[in-house]
Amino acid sequence: MSSVQDLPVSETTPLLAGSNQDSADAVYERFSFRRKQTILAIVSACGLLTYFTSSSFTPTIPQIAHDLETTGSIVNISVGIFVFFAAFGSLFWSRYSGYYGRQPIYVISLPIYFLASIGVAACRNVPELMIFRALQAFGSCAFQSVGAGTISDIFRLDQRGRALGIFYGLGLSGPALAPVISGMVAERFSWRVMQASLGVVGLIALVFVLIFLPETSHPGVRGIDHAQEEIKHGKKGVRKFVLLNPLSALALMKSPVVLLSTLGAACAFMGDFIILIPLAYTLGKRYGIENKAVVGAMFLPSGLGNTIGAPLAGWVSDYTVMKWREYRGGKWIPEDRLRASWHGALLLVPLSTLGMGLAIQFIDGIPGLSINLILLFIHGVGMSLVFAPCSTYSVDVMHDRSAEVVAANVAVRNILVAFAVVGALPCIETFGILFTNTMASVLGWIGFAFIAICIRYGPQLRAWSSISHTDAS
C-alpha cells in the first residue's frame, strides 16, 4: 500500500476519490477538449520515435554492414541493444516524472536523442554504432512510459481507452513506417542521412513540447510539490536533485494481473518483431526484391493495419468497459477491458503469422507476395487489438502509478523483444522461415492464455496481491 512517505517519489492520484465521483472527475477537466487533443497529438507523435528509430535500420542493415565492414547479424545486434536500453530508459524517465513532473522529462530527454542520432550518423565503426544507438534509445523512450502517464492525467476512465489506443497505435506503426521512409532515404542518399534526419526531428519535437505541451500532473501530487511543502514548514532542507531508484517500478510486476497482461502483450509483440525485423531477408530475398525503397514499402500494410486498428481498438476497448459495467448494474471490473483483445490475441495475430510462414515457404511469385502483404495488414490490425487493451488495463488497475506501471510494462516487453530480435535472423538461417513463424504463432497463443487467465481470475488475483491496485467500483 502507498503511504505518506511514498508521496515524494511516486504518483498518488487515485482514479476514484472516495464516493464523490464529481470531485474525482473535476481533475480531468482542467484542459479544454481542444487542448487535450493537442496534448494527445504531440505525445502520440513523439511516442512514435522509439520504435520508428529502432526499425529505421531494418531495410538498410546490408548497407550498414558493408559500410562498417561487418555482417548483417552483427548490425542486427544494435537493434536488440536499442530495444534493451529503451527498456531501461523507460524505467528511468518514469521514475523521475513522478517526482519532477512530465514536461521536464521531455525537455531533458529530447536533446539526448538529438545528439545521439548525430553520433549514429557519424559513427566510424561497430563499437561507436553500439554506443550511440544505446544513447539514442535512452533519449527516445521517455514518451513511451511518461506519455501514457500524461494521457492518463487528462482523460477519464471512459475516454482513456480511445486516447491510449491512438497513442499505442501510432507507436506500433513505427516498425512498419520506418523501413519505408528509411529505405527511400537510403536508396536516394545514405543510411547516415536518415539517422541525422531523425536527430532534426527530435529538435522539432522539442520546440513543440516547449511551446504547446503543459505540465499535466494532477495538482499537488508530484514529489517535488511535497518536498516544497516540507521545506516551507521547515521539515527538510533544499535539495536541487534527488536520487531515485529507476528499477523500483519493476516491483509492480509482483502484481499477478499486471504481469499477466504485460506478458500477454509481450508475446504478441515478440512475434511482431520476429516477422518484421528480418523482412528484407524473408520477403525480399524470397521474391527477388533488392531495391531498398521497395523493401521498405513492404512494411506499409502492417503500418496501415496499425493505423486502422488503433482507433478501432480504443473504441472497442471503451465500449466493452461500458457494456459490461451496464450489465453489472454500474459495477466496474477492470478485467472487462481485456475482453476487447480476444479476437486479436486468439485469431488475427497468431494465424496471420503462421499464414505468412506457409505462404513464403510454398507460394511463389506475385500470388505469394500478395498473400503476405494482406497477412501483414491483418497482423497490424490484430496487434492494435491486443496491445491497446492490455496496456490501458495496466493503467486502469494502477492509475495512481500510471507512468511507472507503463514503464515496467515497456521494460519487461522490450527485454523479451530484444532477445527475439537478436535470435530471429539466426533462427531463420538455421531452421527456416516456416519453423520461425510457427514458433512466433505459438508465442501469440501463449500470450492469449495469459490474457484469458487474467480475465477469469483477475479480481481474485488483485485481492490476493500485496500490491495496491485501483479499486473496482
Note the pLDDT tens digit of each residue in 205-233. Answer: 999 999 999 988 877 777 777 777 766 76
Grid cell locating 61: 542493415
Q: Which regions of the chain are under pLDDT 50?
A: 1-21
Separation of alpha carbons 453 and 265, rounded Å: 13
What pLDDT score does 12 carry?
38
Q: Torsion angle, CA of 192/114/172/37, rounded to 10 degrees?
A: -140
- Supply the pLDDT for residue 469: 60
CB 53 within 8 A of CB 82: yes
pLDDT at 379: 94
| pLDDT for position 63 | 83
Q: What pTM, to 2 d.p., does this model score?
A: 0.73
Q: Write out pLDDT tens, residues 273-325.
A: 888 877 777 887 788 887 767 877 888 898 888 888 878 888 888 889 889 98
What domains sit in the chain, N to C, each tagged with a CATH number? Answer: 31-218 (1.20.1250.20), 248-472 (1.20.1250.20)
Backbone angles phi, psi at 236, to 5 degrees: -155, 160
Contact indicator for 388, 169 with CB cutoff of 8 Å = yes
Q: Are 450 and 263 spatial neighbours (Cβ–Cβ below 8 Å)? A: yes
Count of Cβ atoms closer than 10 Å to residue 24 Cβ? 17
> What's residue 222's pLDDT?
76
Reported as type and span, the H/E element at residue 192 is: helix 191-212
Rounded distance between C-alpha atoms, residue 441 and residue 439, angstroms: 5
Annotate 242-265 with DSSP letters as a single string: ----GGGGGGGGGSHHHHHHHHHH
**Interhelix angle 433-464/349-362, nearest 10 degrees:** 170
SS3 for 233?
coil
Write down the pLDDT at residue 450: 96
